Chain A
Amino acid sequence: MSEDILRMRGITKRFPGVLALDGVDMRVKRASIHALVGENGAGKSTLMKILSGVYAHGDFEGEIELEGEPARFRNIRDSEESGVVIIHQELALVPELSIAENIYLGNEQTRRGIISWNRTNTKAAHLMDQVGLHENPQTLVEKIGVGKQQLVEIAKALSKEVKLLILDEPTAALNDSDSENLLELLKQLRENGVTCIIISHKLGEVLAVADEITVLRDGRTIETLHAVDDEVTEERLIKSMVGRDLEHLYPPRTPDIGETFFEVDHWTVYHPEHRDRVVVNNAAITVARGEIVGLAGLMGAGRTEFAMSVFGRSWGGDISGNLTLDGRPLRLNNVSDAIKAGIAYATEDRKQYGLHLDYDLRQNFTLPGMGKVSKNGVVDLHEVTSVSERLRSEFGVKAPSVYQLAGNLSGGNQQKIVLGKWVFTGPELLILDEPTRGIDVGAKYEIYELIHELVDQGKGVLMISSELPELLGMCDRIYAMSAGHITGQVDRENATQEELMRLMTLETASGGEELRQ
């Protein structure tokens, strides 16, 4: 048997007007973990869709060889029968069905045409054991966290006798400990002879787990590196991905911090449905003009809930506490009050909560600030278009025109639209929730620069992020949150990952479940 389980040669895929892949070559060694990295739009997902039969044989040029045999998949079923299984970033599970039923969905365990629940549950329990998922197989998928859902997907793949497992951004939605578990599981699968291809933006995790790394850029293979032999570092990878040196990951800035203008104190929020559950407990923070304040915390610590409850009570029940802006107490009953008061909140989930993907740039840019482009309730469409043109160029949104639909743009460009629409409302305080989630290195840098511009104009920024290096690189001061409490703050000079992690895990025993529905 050959050493390579997979060889892809000269893969070229065209979409109307776009050359998505241009002669990509890739080899993957048997029983290894192979990482595929590259900026958004580099062609990673397209390549994996070709490998998994989403794009049928004949829709692209080039050859695929699986275990030395030419592979011609017409659809996903074909590829799965050959042992190639892809797990997409957005999990393909049915929340209302049980874990066991999800694992055997499309592959139901039947006896004489009738589903045998006994067999389904027993076999599922066995697979769940293999992936380290300790739950009752009959538990509904909606009842378990996203980390465990990821394990269900892997168990499902194992049920199909997977040889080559493709994971697209498997840890994007996971917290650190869940990510670690997942990566351990991949290593264990490798021991059992399963080959994994992992697409990830988290380079640290790529380096920790991958045997080999293939870098794609602009639809071409740049290089394949051996993680150990080539002494790969993050800088090395970034350089290869972006094709240029990024001097630093974060743009330079000389902080010019003014006086404190925004204060929250005694802020307590209950869960909107489970009224006895405290989600934010007596929290207090301050933000000064020209200051970037970070908010660190593990998933479920209540960061987003805190931010949204401050933003015009857009989340939570029984909210109590004081808000002060420029020395005046604020009473915000809804989002529109918050916008009028000069607060903006850019959500962590830009696709669902941040944008109208079916609408064009103009409508997205001007929705929250519609008052500024209208008079007596009548919208000035010319103003809408020219404002959008201005924001498009100011925020460097790479789109052919303002008539482009937001859903057709890459994550980085979508994020710029989200920032643009909020900056247009003229806020004093911007709350940015995971502003760089799921976007590539180059776009991240541009977002950081935009944030710097905002604080240079004397606005305050409250930045929520799950990536500690990002908080350390960007913020003047960082609050840590754990189980609804603000457990401490550190300033730029004294901030380290270790100290933040210590604060973020304080008191978690009191229940840091995933709270939002």
Chain B
Amino acid sequence: MTIKTTAARPSLLRAVRNINLRAYGMIIALVSIMLLFQVLDVVMQNQNFITPRNLTNVILQNSYILILAIGMMLVIVNGHIDLSVGSVLAFCGAVSAIALSEWGLPWYLAVLVAVGAGALIGVWQGFWIAYVRIPAFIVTLAGMLLFRGLTLKVLGAETVGTSGTYNSLASGYTVAGVDLRMPTLIIGVLGAVAYVLLETRSRARQARAGIAGSSQAAWVSKVVVLTAVILVAAYTFYSYKGLPLIGWILLVLVIFYTFIANRTVFGRHIYAGGGNEKAAMLSGVKTKQTSFWVFVNMGALAGLAGVIVTARLQAATPDAGSMFELHAIASSFIGGASMAGGVGTIIGAVIGGLVMGVMNQGMRVLGVATDTVQVVLGLVVLAAVFFDVWNKKRASAGPIVGIAPGGSGEAKRKNRGPDDSGPAGDDSKDEEPESVGTG
């Protein structure tokens, strides 16, 4: 009967602080980086960085990394790692290019061949990892060599060109002859409206059930900020050529996988198995089966990314996708995954990937050499995780926020609560933890 109304009347300041530092830290970091490049560009080259064209390029140039990062996040959350995605991507891209150009299959079948090949590779790796219980690091390290070798074999060390609709997957702005400019704006506005409606409905349902959610101020500011982000993004893309086809594909993937991760039994089992495999198993989670399908999914997404890379280069090449696995892994960690598993969000991985993409694009526009770009990106990975560990340490001893997008999982683990007789024990008069995310 005693349902406490948690976090009923926190000050606006506290609400803002909670939102800023915890949940939306990554978004803020991303926006800050963009603003930084804007300033640098204006000062050094007297031009804007935040232009519809540059933003569109960021999407186009990083789409395949983002696709990989979505799958990689699930792999890492489940407590594994996948080092083979770069090679798998190359292999699937090669097979699909051959299917398209040499077997003469239509473009959609060529895509299906790639995704299917990726899924089969996932079956192979998932079998060794989930059922034979060989560590994923080793299985996928083997896969990295194996599938790079097979790529060379099927391509005969040559490139296979692609053409037609297939190529427009990576860089087109039309679908079936329809220009995507107007739809970008319309769907953007509809999306913003739908988002507000969904949030309001869920808030009302919570209130009716007597469940205390986050505070009013926090909720309103969250909805306002995110609605603004949707509208601004829609308008920005509209004012160039519209959201490219690949952008739409990504959008669908992000929404779909966020739904899978947060709202389906399978998704929650991915988290439970990664967070504490033994406890999950003893709670009836089929942990092996879950891990297996996570790898099948990773393979399929690598296959799709293979299509995009091939379409973008308009050819399948033997060395496509090298180092991509590391970029995907880095995106996940920047986006808040924990090495130990159990922590991380899809949106986090995507934002992590965008942080890297924006930095990359920004430095290139400024004319920074490739070697320097690599050095900086390396430091960014370290800094992102360090900032989070430091931030959590600073705010430690207080209760830790629940699942929230962004924020390093490493930090969350380091601050595991005290044992039986620790300070935040039974009747602690702690501040109420503000729960954000999953709402």
Contact = CB atoms under 8 A, between A and B. Distances in A.
A407 B417 contact: yes
A400 B211 contact: no
Contacts of B191: none
B413 interface: yes
- List of 7 A-B pairs having minimum Cβ-Cβ separation, nearest first: A41-B425, A408-B417, A403-B435, A15-B423, A401-B6, A407-B417, A368-B283
B265 interface: yes
Contacts of B3: 389, 393
Interface in B403-429: 403, 412-413, 416-429
Interface in A320-376: 334-336, 338-339, 345, 347, 352-360, 363, 367-368, 370-371, 374
Nearest to B342: A358
A441 to B, nearest CB: 13
A435 interface: no
Contacts of A232: none
29 contacts: A16-B431, A17-B431, A18-B423, A41-B420, A41-B422, A44-B421, A335-B285, A353-B278, A353-B282, A356-B280, A358-B413, A359-B272, A367-B284, A367-B285, A370-B269, A379-B263, A379-B265, A381-B438, A386-B209, A386-B210, A389-B210, A398-B427, A403-B402, A404-B399, A405-B400, A405-B402, A409-B417, A409-B424, A412-B426
Given A17-B398, A18-B423, A381 B417 contact: no
A421 interface: yes
A16 B398 contact: yes
A18 B402 CA distance: 20
A46 B276 CA distance: 27
B12 interface: no
Contact of A379 (B206, B264, B278, B286): B264
Interface string B1-27: 111101100000000000000000000
Given A358-B413, A377-B266, 9 more contacts: A16-B398, A17-B429, A18-B428, A41-B427, A367-B280, A386-B211, A389-B210, A408-B424, A438-B420
B282 A347 contact: yes
A46 B424 CA distance: 11
Contacts of B202: 382
Contacts of A338: 284
A314 interface: yes
B282 A335 contact: yes
A355 B284 contact: no
Contact of A367 (B283, B402, B425, B435): B283
A410 interface: yes
User: Taking each of B2, B6, B266, B428, which has the highest tally of chain A beta carbons within 10 Å of its own beta carbon?
Assistant: B428
A167 to B, nearest CB: 14
A413 B427 CA distance: 10
Contacts of B212: 401
A45 B425 CA distance: 12
Contacts of A13: 423
B209 A46 contact: no
User: Taking each of B6, B267, B268, which has the highest tally of chain A beta carbons within 10 Å of its own beta carbon?
Assistant: B268
Interface residues of B, number: 65
Interface residues of A, number: 65
A497 B257 CA distance: 57
A385 interface: yes
Nearest to B278: A353
Contact of A401 (B276, B282, B432): B432
Contacts of A345: 282
B364 interface: no
A370 B278 CA distance: 17
A103 B403 CA distance: 41
Interface of A: 13, 15-18, 20, 40-46, 89, 308, 311-312, 314, 334-336, 338-339, 345, 347, 352-360, 363, 367-368, 370-371, 374, 377-379, 381-382, 385-386, 389, 393, 398, 400-401, 403-405, 407-413, 421, 438-439
B433 A403 contact: yes
B281 interface: yes
Given A356-B342, A367-B272, A45 B279 contact: no
B432 A314 contact: no
B298 interface: no
Contacts of A385: 206, 209, 211
A43 B435 CA distance: 28
B418 A408 contact: yes
Given A355-B279, A356-B275, A386-B211, A439 B420 contact: yes
A40 B413 CA distance: 23
Contacts of A439: 420
B211 A389 contact: yes
A312 B283 CA distance: 11
